[in-house]
Every structure is written in structure tokens, then in C-alpha cells.
Structure 1
Amino acid sequence: MTTVLVVDDHALFRAGLLAVLSAMDDVDVVGEAANGEDAVAAVESMQPQVVLMDLRMPGIGGLAATARIAERHPEVAVVVLTMSEDADSVFAALRAGARGYLLKEAGADDVQRTIAAVARGEAVFGPRVAEQVVGFFSSESTASTVPQAFPELTSREREVLELMARGLDNAAIARRLFLSEKTVRNRVSEILAKLRARTRAEAVARARDAGIGGAPG
């Protein structure tokens, strides 16, 4: 039996989903929430195995709630269940720590299979979402045949460097990547050390010279 928390701000949709889940023999709905703050609190008190999370909600929203749950309770699998299928939403959810991403048009069987899979530690995406994920990594694989600048940096450090080169400060980078500002400061320090850059401005200049983050506008 898999324990599940349902999070959605639309009461009618939430009620319908609860009815569907309640008819599943292997699912036990332990609670519901209508916003991100309540979702985080409910995870703390109810300890579900799986959270079905909407993205667009009042307050901190589904992405920030997912990031907090993933950080504090990595054993809890968050599955995003949303109307949004754009690439930005998909990859923002993955960066936040979601282990699954389904569209609200998914059938009951798909939802049931997804709950069981993520409870086992798997990652699951709906068909149209999976196409975007596969397409992204296929393009990344093709791009990887071209030598990258600064191979000494990790993928996360390259991501931080790119945002630095776009002009974002540490607070903005932290929000974009769902990290703490302290973590971002540490990443920046590591980048400067690896690039042997004396200042942040020098690292940004080198990044832009290498075509990372675009030229200053």
C-alpha cells in the first residue's frame, strides 16, 4: 500500500482525484492540501510516500514546495500533476527534485502506475513530457561531441557560471536553481578557484569570451 498526499488548489479537481485514488486497492490517501505551504507542512506531519503536486497555486507554489520537500524529505517522491507541458515547467520541476511529471489529462491507470513506480524509486514521465526529456538529452548528447569550455567545471558549476554571465546575482541564481544562497556562494568560490579568476567579474568575462551566457549587452 502506497501512502499519497494530494496537493491542488482547485477543490473540484482535488475531489475528483481523491475519488479516483480512493478506488485504487494499492493506494492510501493520507491527506490533501490546497497550496505549497500546507503541502510542506502535511509532508512533515503525515510522512506520505508520494505527493501528487500541482504547479500553479497560491503562496509559494508547487515548484518551491517540491524543492523544500525534496531537500527535507528525499525519501518522499513528488510527482507533478499539472496542465503545463512547456519545457521550462518540465525542467524546472526536475531541477526542484520531482521524480515524475504527468499532465492532468492522464488516465487513472497512468496515475496508478506512476505512483507505484516512483514509490519504488523510479522516475516517470507522461508520453508527451517524455518526448521533451528525450529530445533534450539527445541534443545534449550531440552537443557533447563538441569540446566544451572549462571542462574542469562540473555541470552544476557550469550552470551557475552561465547564470553569472547572464548578469544574475547570487540571490537570483539561488531562486532559479532552487538552491540556498550559501550553496551558490560556495559554487561561485569553487568556480573562481578552478578558473584561477581573482574576481567574479574576471570569471564572467572569461565565460562570455568562451560564448557562455552571451556577450554583455
Structure 2
Amino acid sequence: MPKIRVLVADDQTLVRTGFRVILETEGDIEVVAEAATGTEAIRQAQLAAPDVILMDIRMPEMDGLAATEEILRQPDPPTIVVLTTFDQNEYVYRALHAGAAGFLLKDAPSSRLIAAVRAAATGDSLIEPSITRRLVERFAAPAEPVGRPPELAALTERELDVLRLIARGRSNAEIAAELVVAETTVKTHVARILTKLGVRDRVQAVVVAYRTGFATTGSE
């Protein structure tokens, strides 16, 4: 089985080296390139053909968000996971609209880094619950929960279970393990949830869950 090809874009050498060491201890992941600027990230995305890019936001020449927008405009682009910190809510919101597949705190444990790369490589996404909550608190104006929100009326009970776990930042693999079902079953549920809610991706589904009061910042 081919390895997951990763590009690490961060202006700090120690961060790039640390991520490389962590990722390359896994037999299914290979760091094929590094970039210290947004401009270099765009170039390496074309030259190295990575499957996944770990993209820092604050970089010289061109920031990671501008680089993300440029890369995702290209045909058949790689999946991009944005690296962020707690004080970057507006940046996260912009990255969401640019099409980033996930968000990861720069000081997240190695297990979350590895899980985020694997999830992104399979078309899934992994979003730190703390980032999702801050994003929703800032932009979604959560409602007080009163029974099942009418916006979620079309969802089955199992789909509501899946949505609740998505709102907690779980990947498809983690949801499958928690609900004791196959990961393919979870993917089917997620696809149906997105269709029924009329949203583009699971991040937007999470925003709906918080905005309607179905999920709350204390629901973990």
C-alpha cells in the first residue's frame, strides 16, 4: 500500500523537524517536502505532489491562508489541514471558507497529528473540539436547546448520534469505534447528514448543530 505523502509548511524549523520525526515513525506516512513560506508551500505542492499538507497560518512572503486558497484552486489539489492556535478564530473562519479539511492545534499530542493526517488522506476530517467550539461561539450564535431542533427533523436517531460525535471533533474511524459499526457505515451516515442539512461539509454541519442548540460547548 502506498504511503501517505505529506508536505509540512511552517516557518519554524523545529516545528517542521518535530512533525517529520513524529509522522515518519508511522509506517504508512512519508514527509515528502517542507516549506518555510506560503510561496514555497505552493511550489512544493506542485513539485512533490503530496496527499496532505499541514499548513501553518503565519508565514513570511505569503501567509498560509493565502497559500491554501491558491493551492485549492488548482486541479485535483491535496487535502489541507490548517495548523492554528487559540488566538486565531478569524483565520480559522477564513480557512474554513477556503476549503481546508481540518484544523489542528500546533501543540496537539502526536496521536492527534497522526490521526489528522490519516483522516485527511481518506477524505475525512479531524477538527479539534476546542477549535470548533471557539469558532461556533464567535460566529454561530448558539441557541438554547429545546427538544429536537426543526432543522434536524429529517435526521434519524442514528444520524443524530453521528452528528453529536462529529460536533465533538471525532473522525469517522473514532465514531465507528464508539458506535461499534463499520467505518463505511459512518461515511454513509455522514453523507446523508450533509445532504439532509444542505451543507457542504462536516464543519458546516457542526455549526448547524451548535447554532440550533443540539450541541453545546459543555456537551463533551
Normalised TM-score (structure 1): 0.60
**In the alignment, does 2:66 pair up with 1:60?**
no
Q: 5+ unaligned residues in a row in structure 2: which ranges?
A: 145-149, 151-220
**In the alignment, does 2:16 pair up with 1:38?**
no
**In the alignment, does 2:111 pair up with 1:109?**
yes
Give the Å deviation of 1:123.
2.5
On the 8 A contact 1:49/1:119 being kept in 2, the answer is yes
On the 8 A contact 2:84/2:92 being kept in 1, the answer is no
Partner of 2:92: 90
On the 8 A contact 1:85/1:103 being kept in 2, the answer is no
Equivalent residue runs for 1:12-31 within 5 Å: 12-31=14-33
Give the Å deviation of 1:139.
2.8
Alignment root-mean-square deviation, CA: 2.1
Partner of 1:119: 121
Percent identity over paired residues: 36
Give the Å deviation of 1:86.
3.1
Give the Å deviation of 1:132.
2.7
What do residues 30-72 of structure 1 show as CA deviations (whole Å, max 9, x unaligned)?
1101000110010111110000000001011100000011111
| Partner AA of 2:99 in structure 1 | G
On the 8 A contact 1:85/1:129 being kept in 2, the answer is no
On the 8 A contact 2:39/2:67 being kept in 1, the answer is yes
Give the Å deviation of 1:17.
1.3
Partner of 1:6: 8
Normalised TM-score (structure 2): 0.60
Q: 2:74 aligns with which of 60, 66, 72?
A: 72
Give the Å deviation of 1:102.
0.7
Quickly say closer, same or farther: Cα 1:38–1:84, change in 2 above 3 A: farther
- Give the distance between the partners of 2:65 and 2:10, measured in 1 at CA: 13
What do residues 102-131 of structure 1 show as CA deviations (whole Å, max 9, x unaligned)?
111111110111111111112321121121
Partner of 1:81: 83
Q: How many residues align?
A: 143
- Give the distance between the partners of 1:59 and 1:137, measured in 2 at CA: 29
On the 8 A contact 1:9/1:33 being kept in 2, the answer is yes
Partner of 2:200: none
